[in-house]
Structure 1
Amino acid sequence: MRVVSALLTGLLSLAVQAAPSTPASLDRGLWPEQLDNPALFDVASRAEILSFARVLHENELLDENALAARLGLRQVNLQKIRQVRARLWQRLWQGYQQAQRSCEQDASFCYAVTSMAELRLQAATFATDVGEFYTGWIEPSRQFHEQYLNEQLRKAALLPQTSSEVQRLSAAERNGDELNDRLFLLTFAGGPGAAAGTTDELTAYLRKQKLDGTFFVLGSRLQQRRDGESLAALRRLYAGQCVGIQGWEYRSHAQWTDWQASISRSQARVRADLPEQYVPLFRPPYGQRRADGQAFMQRQQLQVSLWDIDAQDDSGLSAQASAERVLTLMLLWRKGVIQFHDALPKARPAVQWLLEHTAQSGIGWQDCREYGQGE
């Protein structure tokens, strides 16, 4: 009985620790305007910033027990959660300042907010006077941001035992925060896919659109593609794109004893096979890496490249729902590194939807080589 009881306790503990099955997404059709010009992008951006700020403000009112229950955890690292909250507030304030610049063209969601403190006050009462035109968007947006915030704070609550993209471990790591306003970098992880498959379709589509992205490849999959085809075919596959590394296998590099060999082996493979496409960036699977790994990364002349907009195209979301999630987060953060998975079939249609719905919005796409070679 004791064995059975222990097993049940363990299973219950795992259930409590389990993450939500379906990530947050928001039907962009609920927003009543098209993003047909930069000013309308700013209107939608101001709205999403204030909607998220409202949820963030409400979250700060929870005590530790209520927060743990909200996140589905037995206990939380409250210090890390507060650090992440503070960083989120800072980004919201920076983004709202940028989004206010077009208020003379369209005053929707423009308030007399001139400081972080005033943004917090505005967030506390947001959604009481937005007008009938936006009423169909208000509650779905609040639900999206509450779920999205839970996703982020759950990762913060597990720090430092489980590292993730939610917090940098050193100033040398990059996550897109250094980009200019309205500038986004397309990145793809977990590839390449099988020959003549999703990666081929995606890179061909990007070239047709005269766009590039950074593809973080697994050394083992790259080796399989080369063995099954040819080096020339591999170079054609990534022509015009950038290629970083994700290790030899898609597994956490935080506890793996061979993590250094995984990185150096895959780095050597990419540098030898794709010298024109190689960029010195490492994307840790699941965002998990070692806190003491910076010295090794410096010796390898690599930088950890994280992301701050996750498409979640490897989840139960459809391709369009994944793209709608990305667009909502682009409006919220106004800049950043977007992560898709090129070995999965949702990435290409999601990217296509995203490009079609932002074509006139005034955003820009960061050149992958310029980013990859930057500091």
Structure 2
Amino acid sequence: MMVRILLLLGSLLVTVCAEPIATLDRTLWPDSLASHPGFNAASRLEILNFASELMGSELVAPDEWPQHLGLPQVDMLAIDRYRAQSWLRLLAAFQAASRECRSCPQLKTVAELRQLVLSPPAVPARLQHWLAESRLFHARYLQEQLTLAAQFPHPSSEIATLTSDEFTGYELMDGEFLLSFDAGPTMAGGSTWRTTRVLSKAGQNAVFFLQGEPLAQRLSSSPEALAQELGENCVASNGMSEALYPELENWRDALRQSRRLLHAIPEVTQLSWFRPPQGQRTAEMSGQIFERIVLWNIDSQDMSPGLSTQQVADRVTTLMLLWRKGIIRWHDNGPKAAAALPDLFLALQTSPVRWVDCRTFADH
């Protein structure tokens, strides 16, 4: 038991100074994800690997966390809240991934999940390379999450909610994923056009959180062309610019202006949703101008210059296996989403994944 605990701690401590953006080469997993059994088997092991790192993090003394996360100070209560909530989510995810498996343990409590983490199922030799890289991925990913949690709500982020009516993606059903895109639209014929063409070809759609300044430029030339470009997708607000809304004295005026611009797009499904840039907002903004603040729980990191298109796709796939539900955040002002999505759709087309039609939220 003590050896296992030391291994848990060692994985976390070794990676805190490594590349912070987590990604995992999915070719190391030799089996197909394009079936319910295949997806669920991969999901169970990714869940256990993240749970292992989460358990290891509990062994770090409170006064050591600032150094581990590279922060001047940390909020241990916020870290503890994140860990407690994550254990519940991991339990629900593991239960869903095991429901159709007769030989899998049918866990009922977090205590049972923790015991399974300490005595995990044997991994065959052909998966040993994947296992090592998966553990590294989850250690890095946990560091990303704990860095956000340790500072919340100063600054606020997608790591937790400020009010009960914020939408994060964990509210969806098992297997449901909603695609979302920030920071558009681009100019005619740009990344937004390429992304919407990819979605249309696959018979899918997404929520495009549009920023007011580039949106105004598109509307000034041809609102009809923009509407045709967006097609069967939905639009919502990403504010007027990348400005951080907690720092804006006139944030209500900015949101009203953003709403007026959205209303100027003809014949496109509009959602009364606001996604604050970088997820930074205050509780006061909830229900103001737009009905809901909508965040995300799967960040593609597609704007990170150090990640290739394949690494971005692999990161998204791994996090889909881990959480089994959620809102995926992409950007449509960059090329990686349009390049990554076709293979992602193909790889998961007969898996338990169900892509949510954004238009089902039109009245919410």
**Shared topology, TM-score over 0.5?**
yes
Matched, 1:119 2:113: yes
How far apart are the structure 2 equivalents of 1:67 and 1:358? 38
Work out which of the residue numbers 121, 144, 147 in structure 1 matches 2:140. Answer: 147
Alignment of 1:97-108 (within 5 A): 97-104=95-102, 107=103
Alpha carbons 1:186, 1:213 under 8 Å: kept = yes
| Superposition deviation, residue 89 in structure 1 | 0.7
Where structure 1 has 5 or more consecutive residues not aligned to the other structure, the ranges are 1-18
Instruction: Give me the CA root mean square deviation.
Output: 1.6
1:196 — aligned with what? 189
Q: Deviations over 1:274-311 (max 9, x none)?
A: 453211111111000012222xx34x242000000000
Matched, 1:222 2:215: yes
2:161 — aligned with what? 168
| Superposition deviation, residue 126 in structure 1 | 3.2
Where structure 2 has 5 or more consecutive residues not aligned to the other structure, the ranges are 1-16
How far apart are the structure 1 equivalents of 2:134 and 2:198? 31
1:12 — aligned with what? none
Alpha carbons 1:311, 1:323 under 8 Å: kept = yes
Count of residues paired in the alignment: 347
Alpha carbons 2:89, 2:323 under 8 Å: kept = yes
How far apart are the structure 2 equivalents of 1:342 and 1:273? 18
How far apart are the structure 2 equivalents of 1:21 and 1:280? 37
How far apart are the structure 1 equivalents of 2:47 and 2:295? 22
2:256 — aligned with what? 264
Alpha carbons 2:39, 2:321 under 8 Å: kept = yes
Query: What is the TM-score when the length of structure 2 is the normalising length?
Result: 0.92
Matched, 1:312 2:301: yes
1:302 — aligned with what? 291
Matched, 1:341 2:331: yes
State the AA in 1 paired with 2:184: G
Matched, 1:369 2:362: no
Structure 2 counterpart SS, 1:50: helix
Alpha carbons 2:156, 2:281 under 8 Å: kept = yes
Structure 1 counterpart SS, 2:264: helix
How far apart are the structure 1 equivalents of 2:142 and 2:362? 29
Q: Deviations over 1:199-253 (max 9, x none)?
A: 00111121111111000000110111122x3111011111110000011111211
1:83 — aligned with what? 81
Shift in CA distance, 219/21, structure 1 to aligned 2, threshold 3 Å: farther
Shift in CA distance, 22/313, structure 1 to aligned 2, threshold 3 Å: farther
Alpha carbons 1:320, 1:353 under 8 Å: kept = no
1:5 — aligned with what? none
How far apart are the structure 1 equivalents of 2:157 and 2:189? 32
| Superposition deviation, residue 326 in structure 1 | 0.4
Work out which of the residue numbers 69, 72, 78 in structure 2 matches 1:71. Answer: 69
